[in-house]
């Protein structure tokens, strides 16, 4: 496999979704993994675009069948990543990006030790709180739960190879691109891509 597997983790409100969307626009070779979930679609979401929405019974059947690379229960709903789709993309020299939590990242790392782990941090806890409050999506109790979750998420930040602070959006996107380019030039994927070139020097 010569493709790179990027795993991006961040607390809710750190700007991960916007950063990833801009990265994908600039780096078309990266394929975004669409997760499966048992939660109901939100307004404007479509099956197969934001998520694959499935019933809880179907998700549990997929767990039992070993269909997931990783899965987790988040706030009472299941989320999971298709193992077969990831393996097929990487075998075809595509890069794949996963947006998951630290628990999912730990599961993926056990199966793909050379995954590229990236953690997105907000510039401060107070700024994270401000962002969650001003986006107007959540009630006060939900915001409090997300802030508590952020403390737990950030406690695992040093498990990741790269840490990007999303203070200035354009700078954070540039940092993400730098990580992608560095990963593509690493020894293991390049040894596969450049096999014919290297053979000329033997």
Give the integer Cα–Cα distance in Å for 129 and 143: 8
Of the pLDDT bands very low, low, confident and very high (cuts 50, 70, 90), residue 202 is confident
Give the integer Cα–Cα distance in Å for 186 and 4: 10
Q: What is the pTM of this model?
A: 0.87
Of the pLDDT bands very low, low, confident and very high (cuts 50, 70, 90), residue 5 is very high
29, 184 in Cβ contact below 8 A?
no
Which range, of 6-10, 65-69, 139-143, averages the lowest pLDDT?
139-143
59, 36 in Cβ contact below 8 A?
yes
Of the pLDDT bands very low, low, confident and very high (cuts 50, 70, 90), residue 138 is confident
Q: To which CATH superfamily is domain 5-199 assigned?
A: P-loop containing nucleotide triphosphate hydrolases (3.40.50.300)
Give the integer Cα–Cα distance in Å for 3 and 76: 33
Residue 1 pLDDT: 59
Phi/psi at 59 (5° precision): -60, -45
Report the pLDDT averaged over residues 106-127.
94
DSSP letters, 166-195, are -SSHHHHHHHHHHHHHHHHTSHHHHHHHTH
Strand order across the beta sheet in which 116-121 lies? 30-32, 95-99, 5-9, 116-121, 162-165
Contacts of 157 (CB under 8 A, 6+ apart): 119, 121, 163
Q: What is the mean pLDDT of the chain?
A: 92
Report the pLDDT averaged over residues 147-164.
95
Residue 165 pLDDT: 97
Q: Above 90 in pLDDT, residue 136?
A: no
Residue 1 per-residue DSSP state: -
Taking residue 12's Cβ as centre, other Cβ atoms within 10 Å add up to 20
Q: Above 70 in pLDDT, residue 103?
A: yes
Element holding 98 (H helix, E strand): strand 95-99
pLDDT in tens, 42-101: 888 999 888 999 999 999 999 999 999 999 888 789 999 999 899 888 887 789 999 999
Residue 93 pLDDT: 73
Structure tokens that stand for 49 in this block = 């675009």
Which range, of 59-68, 138-147, 150-159, averages the lowest pLDDT?
138-147
Report the pLDDT averaged over residues 160-172.
97
């Amino acid at each position: 496999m010569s493709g790179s597997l990027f795993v991006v983790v961040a607390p809710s409100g750190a700007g991960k979704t916007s950063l990833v969307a801009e990265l994908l626009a600039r780096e078309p070779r990266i394929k975004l993994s669409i997760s499966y979930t048992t939660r109901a679609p939100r307004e404007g979401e479509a099956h197969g675009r934001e998520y694959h929405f499935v019933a809880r019974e179907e998700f549990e059947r997929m767990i039992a069948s070993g269909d997931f690379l990783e899965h987790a229960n988040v706030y009472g709903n299941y989320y999971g990543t298709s193992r077969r789709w990831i393996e097929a993309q990487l075998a075809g020299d595509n890069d794949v990006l996963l947006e998951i939590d630290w628990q999912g990242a730990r599961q993926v790392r056990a199966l793909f030790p050379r995954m590229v782990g990236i953690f997105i941090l907000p510039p401060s806890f107070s700024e994270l709180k401000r962002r969650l409050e001003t986006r107007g999506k959540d009630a006060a109790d939900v915001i409090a739960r997300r802030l508590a979750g952020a403390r737990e998420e950030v406690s695992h930040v040093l498990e990741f190879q790269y840490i990007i602070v999303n203070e200035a959006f354009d700078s954070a996107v540039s940092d993400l691109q730098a990580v992608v380019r560095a990963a593509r030039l690493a020894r293991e994927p390049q040894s596969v891509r450049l096999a014919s070139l290297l053979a000329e020097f033997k």
